[in-house]
Chain A
Amino acid sequence: MTKTLLPAIITLLFGFNATAQDLPGYVPDSNFNKEQQLAEVIITANRSERKMGNVAVPVQLISQKTIRQTGSLRLQDILQEQTGLVIVNSSLGSALNGYPNPFGQGVQMLGLDPAYTLILIDGEPLIGRNGGILKLGRLGTGNIRQIEIVKGPSSSLYGSEAMAGVINIITQSPLKATAEVQIHRATNNTWGTGLSYGNRFNKTGIQLFINRYSSSGYDLDKTIYGKTVDPFREWNGQLKVAHDFSNKLQLLASLRQFDSKQNNDYQILWQNQPAVAKGYTKEKDQSAFVQLRWQVKPEHRFYFRTFYDHYRNNSFVNLDKTTTRFDETSFDQSILKPELQFESKHKTNNYVAGAGAYFEMIDASRYAGKRNLTTLYAFTQKEWSLLHDKFTLIAGGRIDKRSDFAAKISPRIAVAFKPGSKWKFTASSGWGFKAPDFRHLYLSFYNSQIGYSLIGAKELSSQLQQLQQQGLLQPGADINPYLKENDLKPETSFGSHIGAKFNGDKWNMEAGLFRNDIQNLIESFSLTFNRSNGQPIFSYHNIGKVYTRGVELNIKYRLVKTISFSAGYQFLDAKDKDVLKKIDEGKLYKRDLNTYVTSPVKHSDYFGLFNRSKHTANFKVEYNDGKTGWNIYARAVYRGQFGFTDLNGNNIADDPAEMVSGFWMTNFAVSKSFLHCFSTQCGVENLLNYTNPARLSNIAGRLFFINLNYSLANNNNKHKQHQK
Chain B
Amino acid sequence: MKNKIIYAAAIIASVFAACSKDNTVVTPLPTTVKTKSITVNFSSATPFTFFSFKDTAVVANSDSATTKWDFALRLTTFLVNSNASGPGNAGVILQDALYDNVTAAPTSGYAYDTTSSQRAIKDGSWYDYNPATHAFVPKAGKTFIFKTADGHYAKMELLSVNYEPFTGPVPQRLIYNFRYTYQPNNDTKF
Listed in ascending order, the chain A residues whose CB lies under 8 Å from chain B are 91-99, 266-269, 274, 449-451, 474-478, 524, 526-530, 532-536, 587-591, 594, 596, 598-600, 644-651, 694
Contact = CB atoms under 8 A, between A and B. Distances in A.
B169 A449 contact: yes
B137 interface: yes
B1 A529 contact: no
A649 B77 contact: no
A92 B130 CA distance: 9
Interface in B122-156: 122-124, 128-135, 137-141
B115 interface: yes
B132 A649 contact: no
A356 to B, nearest CB: 36
A476 B116 CA distance: 7
A588 B115 CA distance: 32
Contact of A526 (B45, B116, B124, B159): B124
A645 B171 contact: no
B62 to A, nearest CB: 22
19 contacts: A91-B131, A91-B132, A93-B133, A96-B134, A269-B168, A474-B116, A476-B117, A526-B123, A528-B124, A534-B75, A534-B77, A536-B76, A587-B141, A645-B133, A646-B128, A647-B137, A649-B138, A649-B141, A650-B139
A536 B169 contact: no
Contacts of B118: 476
B157 interface: yes
Nearest to B114: A476
A475 B116 contact: yes
Contacts of A534: 44, 74-77, 123
Given A268-B168, A476-B117, A646 B130 contact: yes
B44 A533 contact: yes
Q: A-B pairs with the 6 shortest C-beta distances? A: A93-B132, A589-B141, A476-B117, A649-B140, A589-B140, A533-B44
B111 to A, nearest CB: 13
B169 A99 contact: yes
Interface of B: 1-2, 11, 35, 44-45, 74-77, 96, 98-99, 115-118, 122-124, 128-135, 137-141, 157, 159-160, 163, 166-171, 179
Nearest to B41: A534
A101 to B, nearest CB: 9
A530 B117 CA distance: 9
Tell which of A451, A476, A527, A598 has the most Cβ of chain B within 10 Å.
Answer: A598
B140 to A, nearest CB: 3
A650 B117 contact: no
Nearest to B2: A97
Given A91-B132, A267-B168, A645-B132, A651 B116 contact: no
Contacts of B117: 474-478, 529
Contacts of A526: 123-124, 129
Given A476-B115, A590-B140, A651 B169 contact: no
B77 A530 contact: yes
Contact of A650 (B98, B131, B140, B157): B140
Contact of B169 (A269, A528, A535, A648): A269
Contacts of A536: 76, 123-124, 129
Given A451-B44, A530-B77, A598 B140 contact: yes
Contact of B179 (A266, A476, A532, A596): A596
Contacts of A268: 168-170
Given A475-B116, A476-B118, A645 B169 contact: no
Nearest to B179: A596
A535 B44 contact: yes
Nearest to B171: A96
B98 A589 contact: yes
B50 to A, nearest CB: 16
Contacts of A646: 128, 130, 135, 137
Contacts of A92: 131-132
B128 A598 contact: no
A694 B115 CA distance: 42
B170 A450 contact: yes
B80 to A, nearest CB: 16
A530 B74 CA distance: 13
A83 B77 CA distance: 47
A649 B124 contact: no
A449 B134 CA distance: 12
Tell which of B77, B115, B128, B133 has the most Cβ of chain A within 10 Å.
Answer: B133
A650 B163 CA distance: 19
B159 A591 contact: yes
A477 to B, nearest CB: 5
Contact of A598 (B11, B141, B170): B141
A649 B170 contact: no
B122 A266 contact: no
B139 A649 contact: yes
Contacts of B138: 591, 649
Contacts of A598: 98-99, 140-141, 157
Contacts of A650: 139-141
Contacts of B168: 267-269, 274
A152 B32 CA distance: 57
A645 B135 contact: yes
A158 B109 CA distance: 55
